[in-house]
Chains A and B, each alone.
Chain A
Amino acid sequence: MTILYFAWLRTKLGMSTEDLPCSDEVFDTDSLVAWMKTRGPAFAEVFSDLEVVRIAVNQEYITSNTPLKDGDEVAFFPPVTGG
């Protein structure tokens, strides 16, 4: 999977993209978020309040747990502020 981070998630984590394999531990968006929280203080902080984190899978917003497979594009970003 390709993981993308935007805006303050990107600056707090110090990266904009990374590749992660699906596994027994990470197989849907809920398990991905749970795993993210275990990756250290910066990740724990960024994923501590999911009210301010939006998730898109393959460039579509998701609002409930979504299965993931290798090749998927998962993006994490704050509420949008364009216009």
Chain B
Amino acid sequence: MRFAFTDEQLELAAAVRDLLAKECPPDVVRAAWSNADGRANQVWSALAEMGALAVMSDEARGGFGMTEVDLVLLLEESGRCALPEPIVDTALVAAPEGWVDGDASACVISPESPFGVWADTATVIVSIAADGVRVVPRSEAGLTARDSVDGARRLFSVELPEVAPVAPVAAAARVFRRGALGTAAQLVGLADRMVSMTVEYAREREQFGVKIGTFQAVKHHLANARTALEFARPLVYRAAATMSTDDPDAATHVSMAKVRAGDAAAQASRVALQCHGAIGYTTEYDLHLFMKRAWALERAWGDTSWHRRAVGRAIL
């Protein structure tokens, strides 16, 4: 038993964290709300250049042939900065199957996540269905724009031509699990970010002549949110590990991870907003960028109830 990342994996995550801290600060996320495509192209290029998008791609296709365990921390970092890019759809779902490579991006839809995110700039649309997976060039898809609460997430209703699945049912299940796992990792990163920024705020903000972080009411909110995160994270890492070894229970593990990561992010956003007070209720302040991403991801790739029921079918 060894439930930890290697130094190499931690170093890679730290490198991505540094890159994203520099290239994807809140201003960049905010800019994605109002730019043409909702994305941060320079960050995407940088991630592609450092190989982050090809971690799980076949070595024959220029990838690294690594596993979910190698990628999960990077996805957590992408959540921490609310990266406005389809990194889960691309690096964890499409690239390992060889449906995209290089700096091409994928947009994945499924009955549980029917809106295509950043579909208009994707190279391919991947559709996960009960009978398998279809992969269609974006130019062949009919896209109708929809507005997301998270202004960076450009959503589209997608109409696909009648084509046969390129991958069988088993692959559909696998890639769906991967998407849910990646989303759980992002939710953990988002929760961590919201707790951290609220701690920073509570250490500075004064009322009644003292820092508000001295009040037990504030402390206990944040302690609860931090504790929820502490126990969500290992479920995400465990799911990554059992996915990487094709454990027959991996689907249940992913669902457990998605439930707890979603709950932790939901709790973190409530606590963050409450402890910030009115400033957190403005869009001038950065909190909403993270909060709204969390709201969206909680319900993406199977919402918390969907995954809770899936666990229930496995254990009850």
Whether chain B is bound by chain A comes out as no
